[in-house]
Amino acid sequence: MKIKNCMFVALAALSLVSCGKKGGNSLADLQDNEFAVSTAGESSASMQSTYPATIKGIQDVEVHPKLSGYITNVYVHEGQYVRAGQVMFTIDSETYRAAVNQSRAALNTAIAQANTTKLTYLNNKKLFAQHIIGQYELETALNSYKTAEAQVAQARASLASARETLAWCTVTAPASGVVGSLPFKKGALVSAQSTLTTVSDVSTVEVFFSMSEPDILSMSKTAGSVAGVLREMPTVKLQLADGTTYNQPGRVVKMSGIIDATTGAYTLIAHFPNPQGLLKSGGAGQIIVPHVSNNIISIPQEATSQVQNKYFVYKVDKDNKVKYTEITVSPQNDGLTYIVTSGLNAGDRYVSKGISKLTDGEKIKPLTEEQYQKKIDDAANLSKEQGSAKGFVKAMTGK
């Protein structure tokens, strides 16, 4: 009796499956003329434009030696933060130290000579007062004294120059910042033309990017002037090379006064704070400029088909027939919707879901998106129930 009951349940379930197949309502068999249709309308949307950008420190200073010589010591390493005046390199100083000693000796000689000529002049002055010597001898002694004083001054200047040259053997940081690459190591021969490294102040970075002349002109008309563009420019973001967005906002502070003849674009500079030192001079990224677009037509991307670089939608006429229609869209999008710039007007109806099943000129039955989605969900649930029934029959019958 128990076996008969099980067989009866299995046969009932099998009958349910058979009826489900005959009804043709499974998700796979959903082949009819009902489609979700939406009406294009104007709205406002927050959009964003991206521009390739280059990152530089607020101050990038190349470090050059002022004289030629061999590097005797390197006191810094790449990426190290240094303060203005901090010692970075020393250059072999023996020759210049000897020059200082020589200049010091020459100064001492000049001072001694000046003291001797001074005594001679003072003595001749007394003799002249006693009418022992004449005016000529007195003037000669005075001139010798003045010449000796001039030689002292010259010797002092030579010593000061020698000391300054000796000081050039110690290369210090011209500004506070982060040390760049170090192409020259200890023992390398360098000259005044050699770039020992670069010191970059990256507490704030400058991000350079370009905007086309039409974009700037459009913004200038709204702002009233090019200077007004800077004042009204929104806060910008920086997308890093790995695709992430930098966690500090930036502000556009400068714009070139002339248009680059090669690119036909203005160069703009945005400042970004860099408290953690994440941004490095010489890096690259993309500036993201947000803006609000008014009176636009926005449609979901799933309502469009793309053939090469062209976009198409299925417009629905008053007789509910679809027409395969080309549209143009803005290159800037949020990944979910397109802004239509031509080909679709406010008030036009279009198929918003299921367009892969359509053919040009086909007559359809319009549904709202909610009705269409409910229909899909009901078909999916029915298909799931049929699958469960099949499994039960197989468990009961082994088939």
- Predicted pLDDT of residue 48: 77
Amino acid 337 reads: T
Mean pLDDT over each residue of the chain, to the nearest integer: 85
Distance CA 386, CA 384 (A): 5
- Predicted pLDDT of residue 266: 87
pLDDT digits (tens, 9 = 90+) for 30-43: 457 889 999 998 88
The overall pTM is greater than 0.75: no
pLDDT tier for residue 391 given thresholds of 50, 70 and 90: low
Q: Cite the residue boundaries of each domain of the chain with CATH code 1.10.287.
A: 94-166
Q: What is the DSSP letter of 246?
A: P
- Yes or no: is domain 94-166 CATH 3.40.50? no
- Fold classification of 67-92+169-195 (topology level): OB fold (Dihydrolipoamide Acetyltransferase, E2P) (2.40.50)
Tell me which of 3.40.640.10, 2.40.30.170, 1.20.1600.10, 3.40.50.10490 is the CATH number of domain 50-58+202-293.
Answer: 2.40.30.170
pLDDT tops 50 at residue 27: no
pLDDT digits (tens, 9 = 90+) for 99-134: 999 999 999 999 999 999 999 999 999 999 999 999
pLDDT digits (tens, 9 = 90+) for 282-325: 899 999 988 767 778 989 999 999 998 899 999 999 999 999 99
H helical segments located in 130-171: 135-167
pLDDT tops 70 at residue 267: yes
Q: How many CB atoms lie within 10 A of CB 150?
A: 12
pLDDT tops 50 at residue 396: no
Q: Cite the residue boundaries of each domain of the chain with CATH code 2.40.30.170.
A: 50-58+202-293
Torsion of CA 15, 17, 18, 24, to 10 degrees: 150
pLDDT tier for residue 229 given thresholds of 50, 70 and 90: confident
- Predicted pLDDT of residue 234: 85
Cα within 13 Å of Cα(372), Cβ side: 19
- Predicted pLDDT of residue 223: 66
pLDDT tier for residue 150 given thresholds of 50, 70 and 90: very high
Q: Which residues of 229-332 form beta strands (DSSP E)?
A: 237-240, 251-255, 265-273, 284-300, 305-307, 310-316, 322-329
Distance CA 173, CA 167 (A): 14
pLDDT digits (tens, 9 = 90+) for 41-91: 888 766 778 899 999 988 889 999 999 999 999 999 998 999 999 999 999
Find, among 193, 175, 167, 176, the residue nearest to 184 by Cα. Answer: 193
